[in-house]
Amino acid sequence: MGLIVVGDVHGCVEPLRLALSWAANFKDRRVVLVGDYIDRGPASKEVIETLIREVVAGRQPHAPRRQSRD
């Protein structure tokens, strides 16, 4: 199984949706989200809602827990 890595979404929902749509073409690969999902961008709420919809739909992108920078 291969990986598709999506990094630093930062509240920008349209690029996230585009990446997830593209990734749907590769059923044998797992989507892994790294970096910040929210903050800075205009659509943090929509990013979270999109990720929840992906999980509910059974596509389940993998989102590792935040690493401490302290």
Domain chopping of the chain, boundaries: 2-56
Q: What is the pLDDT of residues 53-67, one digit of tens each?
A: 888 777 767 766 665
Question: How far is the first Cα of the chain from the last one, in angstroms, to the nearest whole number?
Answer: 33
Cite the DSSP H helix spans in the chain. 13-23, 44-56
- Cβ-Cβ contacts under 8 Å for 15 (sequence gap 6 or more): 9
| pTM of the shown model | 0.79
Higher pLDDT, 62 or 51: 51
Rounded Cα distance, 11 and 67, in Å: 19
